[in-house]
């Protein structure tokens, strides 16, 4: 099965630019790909250049306290502060309940809506006020 360009790139990254270091079954297909695909030679040259840069880079030894610094940095992981149930409830209610500036307007609006929602009594249905007016009328 012929090797695709993507597979060739992956093998180039895994095994390096030297085709001799590749596994035998893959190296044969890579050599064939190298002669057929125009970009394969460019990819190999780029990989040679990358490997040359890495190999010529000076080795830097790790500092003696590197492990200590890593362990200490990992131990100081910042956690979110624990919120108690009462604190959470206070924050939630402060968010939900109206602010003092809007409290009066909210109460008045609710009163108007409730007032229009309750049906009015039919005339003569209120016997208490009717009896009062009749009594007053008799006295006058």
107 part of a folded domain: no
17 part of a folded domain: yes
What was the pLDDT predicted at 92?
79
22 part of a folded domain: yes
What is the residue-averaged pLDDT of the chain? 75
Which comes out higher in pLDDT, residue 137 or 113?
Answer: 113
64 part of a folded domain: no
Query: How many domains does the chain divide into?
Result: 1
pLDDT in tens, 71-120: 888 877 667 778 888 888 778 777 777 666 567 777 788 889 888 888 77
CA 40, CA 11: separation in Å to the nearest integer?
12
Least confident of 44-48, 101-105, 113-117, 123-127: 123-127
Percentage of residues in the chain having pLDDT higher than 90: 0
Which residue segment(s) compose the domain that 41 sits in? 5-56
3-state secondary structure (DSSP) of residue 134? helix
CA distances from 2 to 11, 13, 32, 40 (A): 14, 19, 9, 14
Does the pLDDT of residue 140 top 50, yes or no? no
The pTM is what? 0.36
CA 83, CA 64: separation in Å to the nearest integer?
40
34 part of a folded domain: yes
Structural element, H or E, at residue 43: helix 38-56
């Amino acid at each position: 099965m012929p090797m695709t360009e993507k597979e060739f790139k992956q093998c180039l990254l895994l095994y390096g630019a030297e085709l001799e270091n590749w596994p035998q079954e893959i190296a044969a297909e890579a050599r064939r790909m190298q002669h057929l695909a125009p970009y394969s030679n460019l990819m190999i040259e780029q990989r040679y250049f990358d490997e040359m840069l890495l190999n010529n880079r000076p080795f830097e030894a790790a500092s003696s306290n590197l492990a200590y610094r890593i362990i200490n940095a990992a131990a100081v992981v910042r956690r979110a502060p624990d919120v108690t149930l009462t604190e959470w409830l206070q924050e939630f209610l402060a968010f939900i309940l109206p602010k003092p500036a809007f409290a009066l307007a909210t109460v008045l609006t609710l009163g108007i809506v409730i007032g229009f929602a309750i049906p009015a009594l039919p005339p003569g249905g209120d016997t208490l006020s009717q009896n009062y007016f009749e009594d007053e009328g008799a006295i006058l």
